Amino acid sequence: MAIDTVDKLVNAMGNNSSRLIIDKASLANAAAGQFHSLWLATGQPGQGAIPAAAAVPNHATTGAIGFNQQTSPATSYLAILEGLCANAGVTMEIHDRLAHMGGLSGTVTTAQTVDLDLNALTANDVVARRGESDYSDVTWWLEWYTGTGGTAVTATVNVTYNDGSSGNLSAISLAATRRASFMQPLNGFIPAADSGKFIRDVNSVTLSATTGTAGSFGVTATRYRAALYKPLANARFTADWAGLGLPEIPNSACLFAVQLASTTSTGIVRATGKIVHG
C-alpha cells in the first residue's frame, strides 16, 4: 500500500515512522568541491568497516542508517531531512550503498580485479534497491579508505555496460594525496562512443604509476536518494517531503551520507529526519 495522499503521509509522520539520526565527526584532509564519504567517520551511525571482497551491505551493516523493515505491500519513504554542519556551503547527500569492495593498492600498476557486477549480485534486496533495470539509477565511485601516497596518477577503469559490452572509461586523473573518505564519481567518464549506456559492472582498475603508498581504495555502487544543502555554518536547514521528492526507501537499503565539501574538512555533521512507512 503506497503512501499516495497527503492524509496518509501526515498519518505516517505521526504514527508509523523510523527516526533517521546522523551525528558524525569531521574528517580532515578533505578538498573543496569534492565528494567525501562519511562511511568511516566516527559517531552515529557507527563507523563502517573497510570492505574486502565484493559485498552487498544492508540496513543492519555497521555504518548504515537503520530503519524498520516493512512487509509487502507496505514500503518506506524519506519524508523529512534536517541538519547542520560546522562548515558553510556544504551539501549532504543520502545514498543507498548498493555494493562495495576494497583493498585496491596505490602501488600496483597492473590491472587490479574488482568484479562488482550488479547483474550477478542478488543478496539483501539489491535488485529492487538498484532501481531501473538498465542500471541508470546507479552511481559508481572510486572510494578511498586509507591514503594512497603523494604521486599523481591516471586510473583506467574497465567496465561492463547494461547491454553486455565492455570497455574502458575515459582516463581519470587522480591528483596527488588522495586520502581516506575521498570519492571519485565514475559515471561522467563514460566515453562518447558509449554514450547512452549505463555501467553494470566495474571489472578492474589500472593505475598508470605507483602513488608511493599502498593505502586502500575500492569501488562502490550507490543509488542517490536525497540531498540537503546547508549554506551557513552551524545553522539548521530543512527539506520536507515535497523538496525531497518523497523517495522510496526499499527494505534492506544501506543508507549513508556523502558530503560535498566546501573546505579542507567535512565538518561536524548533525542531521535528523523521518522515514515513513505505509
**C-alpha distances in Å from residue 87, one per residue of 27, 217, 259:** 12, 26, 11
Burial 70-89 (b: 16+ CB within 10 A, else e): beeeebbbbbbbbbbbbbee
- Which residue is it, cell 530503519? 67
Cα–Cα distance for residue pair 7/36, rounded to 1 Å: 37
φ, ψ of residue 187 to 5 degrees: the values are -55, -35
CB atoms closer than 10 angstroms to residue 15 = 10
Domains in the chain: how many in total? 1
**Could you say which residues of the chain have pLDDT below 50?**
none
Residues 6+ apart with CB under 8 A from 204: 111, 112, 113, 114, 115, 157, 158
**In this structure, is residue 1 part of a structural domain?**
no
Query: Residue 182: in which H helix or E strand, if any?
Result: strand 182-185
- Tell me the three cell numbers of residue 69: 523493515
Nearest to 94 by CA among 206, 214, 229: 229
Give the pLDDT of residue 1: 57
Give the pLDDT of residue 55: 96
Nearest to 258 by CA among 214, 220, 205: 220
Instruction: Round to the nearest angstrom and report the end-to-end CA distance of the chain.
Output: 6
Q: What is the DSSP letter of 11?
A: H
**Which domain covers residue 64, as residue numbers?**
6-277
Burial 171-185 (b: 16+ CB within 10 A, else e): ebebeebbbbbbbbe
Cα–Cα distance for residue pair 216/144, rounded to 1 Å: 6
φ, ψ of residue 7 to 5 degrees: the values are -60, -45
Cα–Cα distance for residue pair 142/185, rounded to 1 Å: 7
Give the pLDDT of residue 103: 97
Burial-class residue 23 by CB neighbours within 10 Å (0-12, 13-18, 19+): middle
Give the pLDDT of residue 176: 87
Phi-psi region of 244 (alpha: psi -120 to 50; beta: other; left: phi over 0): alpha
Nearest to 38 by CA among 83, 104, 103, 5: 83
Give the pLDDT of residue 2: 85
Report whether the peptide linkage leading into residue 45 is cis, meaning its omega lies within 30 degrees of zero: yes
**pLDDT (tens digit, 9 = 90+) per residue, 134-179?**
999 999 999 999 999 999 999 999 999 999 999 999 999 998 888 8
Collapsing DSSP states into helix, strand and coil, what is residue 47? coil
Q: Give this prediction's pTM.
A: 0.96
